[in-house]
Amino acid sequence: MKKYITLSIIFLFTLQVSFVFAQNKEELKIPKLTLEEANRLSKLPLNCMNTEYPNKLGQTLGSVEDIKNPKDLHPAFYGCFDWHSSVHGHWSLVSLLKQFPEIENSIQIREKLLKNISKENIANELAYFKGKHSKSFERTYGWAWLLKLAEELYTWNDPLARELEKNLQPLTNFIVEKYIDFLPKLNYPIRVGEHPNTAFGLTFAWDYANAIENDNLKSIINQRAKIFYLNDVSCPMSWEPGGFDFLSPCLEEAALMLRVLDKEDYKKWLSLFLPQLKVKDYELIPGIVSDRTDGKLVHLDGVNFSRAWCLNEIANKYPEYSHLKTIANNHINYSLPSVVDDNYEGGHWLGSFAIYALNSIDNK
């Protein structure tokens, strides 16, 4: 009996792969972040940003006095299962409200953002980060998303954004200081496809620094990125994705170097790092998700979205890589229909990845 079950699973997996592979060979529907899609995706962070349990704190306990409810520890970012997901859930709502002022529940969204990102709540969040046992808390994934939220507020011309940005600023400044202090101490980049990935953490930090013209942060990122990655060649894309990846180690690195290298240097570097991307009929099959109720296996929906935004960033900047847009669309189309479902395992975070991937599409 076990033999037949195993064969059935292999057969179904093969069918999925064959279906996705076949899609790569034809013109795909170009996904778009419409008002309807924005309404759909906004429900994910809106429904979880004040959901305290279940919760994964990622906390180091110094004593029994540190044992508190998530909302007491993180009054601003306690919902959506973990701190970083709460932060990028708030980013999602800011991004959607910024693009679609007429979005459903806009009044409720504004009220919740003001309530959570209050001056008092951020002061308490900052106090937690300054705690003796919190020096590496959310390093660097949560740090990166905090700066992405700050960037989104900075670039939004709205009175609400000014108030939220002001409230968030003490924590934003502290995270910038954390980056500047930490990066010179990191002798080797972290290349995994999950939270600690160095390239991802530096990419979002660069975007923030570039937006607000923070030359000190940009300089240290530029320096460390080149030390970490400039001599890399032949990244093993065939090893990706790992079973729990939600980031592509190769493509996240390519997206970071896209930012720090000039045009000619980047093209030379990319031709050595990922030479296969130049091939017009290059194919990359999306990560196949076998069980979306499994909090780790559903990570592969995330890798599809993150691959898509990395590929789009390259293709949008350099026309000779425009064929990569088809691969990006394929990845988004595979995972997007399943983002909004009854599974909290993916629902508490995947909406942000979907939005960021959809934002990367050049509709011109």
**Domain definitions of the chain by residue range:** 1-28+213-364, 31-185
* The pair of three-digit structure tokens given for residue 346, joined into one six-digit string: 């993916």
Residue 342: predicted pLDDT: 81
Mean pLDDT, the chain, as a whole number? 93
Mean pLDDT along residues 242-256: 98
Q: Is 190 a residue whose pLDDT tops 90?
A: yes
* The pair of three-digit structure tokens given for residue 207, joined into one six-digit string: 């975007």
Q: Which of 24-38, 56-70, 181-195, 242-256 has the lowest mean pLDDT?
A: 24-38
Q: Which of 97-101, 178-182, 359-363 has the lowest mean pLDDT?
A: 359-363
Mean pLDDT along residues 236-261: 98
If one compares 116 and 9, the residue with the highest pLDDT of the two is 116
Residue 5: predicted pLDDT: 43
CA distance 257 to 270: 9
Percent of the chain scoring above 70 in pLDDT: 92
Report pTM. Answer: 0.93
Mean pLDDT along residues 326-353: 94
Task: Specify burial of residue 357 (Cβ count, 10 A radius: 0-12, 13-18, 19+).
Answer: buried
CA-CA distances (angstroms) from residue 289 to 24, 133, 297, 346? 18, 36, 6, 11
Q: Which pLDDT band, with edges at 50, 70 and 90, does 23 fall under?
A: very low
pLDDT in tens, 51-72: 999 999 999 999 999 999 999 9
Percent of the chain scoring above 90 in pLDDT: 90
Q: Is 200 a residue whose pLDDT tops 60?
A: yes
Give the N- to C-terminal CA distance of the chain in Å, as an integer. Answer: 54
Nearest to 29 by CA among 251, 349, 330: 330
pLDDT in tens, 134-165: 999 999 999 999 999 999 999 999 999 999 99
Q: Which pLDDT band, with edges at 50, 70 and 90, does 27 fall under?
A: low
Mean pLDDT along residues 168-180: 98
Residue 16: predicted pLDDT: 52
For residue 36, give the H/E element and its range. helix 35-48
Nearest to 306 by CA among 259, 224, 241, 364: 241
pLDDT in tens, 266-314: 999 999 999 999 999 999 999 999 999 999 999 999 999 999 999 999 9
Q: Is 13 a residue whose pLDDT tops 70?
A: no
